[in-house]
Every structure is written in structure tokens, then in C-alpha cells.
Amino acid sequence: MAKRTGEKYDAIIDAAVRVIAEYGYHNAQVSRIAREARVADGTIYLYFKNKDDVLISLFSEKMGSFITEMEEKLREIESPADQLYTLIRLHFEKLEEDRQLATVTQIELRQSNPEVRRGIGEILKRYLDIIDRIIESGMEKGLFRPNLDIRVCRKMIFGSLDEMVTSWIMNDYKYSLLDQVEEIHRLFISGMGK
């Protein structure tokens, strides 16, 4: 069972994003997602193992393409400082241009059960790896202190960006995330620098 592609597969995931964004995680019933996707309830189970699988897949699909895009963009940049800048900027840009997705991934999906959260954590590892590589590269090139604890820095960077976005959503998108890129970048560069 559970073919993981096709027109309806995408329709269901997109419907899930819309429904969760509009009604909140706790009101995102399978039947509502099905209706929004113009599909029968049972059809969802032809494409996904269960509801958790829809949510994890949602995160995986959206985040996956984002991470891939991020990797491509960073590959074209030499300087770790510029890479970090781009990472922050893309992170904010992406979420700022799709508020629905931002709400869903930052707020709603965090209310999900342990199974889903574990799935999400798994996917985020790829993103953390990207951050790791930037830091490593900065250390190798002498831009950052040589004795930085990469795992600590990685968490600080991710935690900072994550909190920035969450806060921005909770404050009703009142300001622009992109305006904060410079400040954050500067703090990390001089914070990790020699």
C-alpha cells in the first residue's frame, strides 16, 4: 500500500498545509483534509500509512526541497561568512514568503505526537548538517576560532533562527524577518570569530 507519489499525493499534502494553517493542528481532522483535497477519506490511506505519515511527509516534502535548494545555493558560495549569511537569509526568506507553511511547521506541527516529532527531528538533521559544514569550513579557513564546539554552535544557530521565526509568527508577522538578518549574522560571525 501507500504509493508515495502522484497527483493526489501532492493534493493531500497541500490540503493538509492549508487545513492546518487555517484551523490549527487540533482541528485538522483527516476528513477535513480529505475534503479540502477533494478526495475521499479512505483515499488518504492509499497514499499514506496513517495521519502521522501525512504530517511527517508534509514536513519532509516541504523541508526537503528547501534543504536541497539551500545546499545548491551554498555550493556556489566560497566564504563561510557569506554562506552563513545566505543560510540565515534563505531561512527567513522561505518562511516569510509562505506564511501558511511557516505557521504549520513552526507552530502547529509542534503540537503533534511523539511519533511525528521524531520524524520531523530526523528530517531536520540534514539541515543541521549544513550548518555544521559551514562552521567546519569557517574553522578550517581560520575565520572562526579553532576550538569551537561545533555541536554547540550548530544548536545556537538553529535555536536562534527557530526562535526568531516562531516569535515573528506569534507576533502576527508584524515586522520583517529579513530585516534581522544582518544583526544575527554579525553576532554569530563576531561571536565565533577569533
Partner DNA sequence: CATGAATGAGCGTTCATTCAT
Partner DNA sequence: CATGAATGAACGCTCATTCAT
Under the binding rule (CB under 8 A), the answer on residue 170 touching its own copies is yes
Q: Work out which of 41, 97, 140, 183 binds DNA, going by CB under 7 A.
A: 41
Given the C-alpha cell 500509512, which residue does it identify? 49
Of 5-13, 70-78, 89-97, 184-192: span binding its own copies (CB under 8 A):
184-192
Candidate residues 46, 143, 155, 169; the one interacting with its own copies per rule CB under 8 A: 155
114 interacts with, out of its own copies, DNA, none, CB within 5 to 8 A per kind: its own copies
Provide Rg for the chain, Cα atoms.
18
115 within 8 A of 57, measured Cβ to Cβ? no
184 part of the interface to its own copies, by CB under 8 A:
yes
Report the candidate in 115, 130, 19, 4 with the shortest Cα–Cα distance to residue 61.
4
By CB under 7 A, residue 23 contacts DNA? no
Residue 100 interacts with which of DNA, its own copies, none, CB < 5 to 8 Å by class: none
Please select the residue that binds its own copies; options are 6, 149, 176, 178, rule is CB under 8 A: 149
Which residues, 6 or more positions from 178, have their beta carbon under 8 angstroms from its beta carbon? 89, 92, 93, 96
Q: Which does 8 bind (CB under 5 to 8 A by kind): its own copies, DNA, none?
A: DNA
187 to 36, 79, 84, 112: CA distances (angstroms): 44, 17, 11, 33
Contacts with its own copies by CB under 8 A lie at 24, 26, 110-114, 117, 121, 148-149, 152-153, 155-156, 158-164, 167, 170, 180, 183-184, 186-188, 190-193
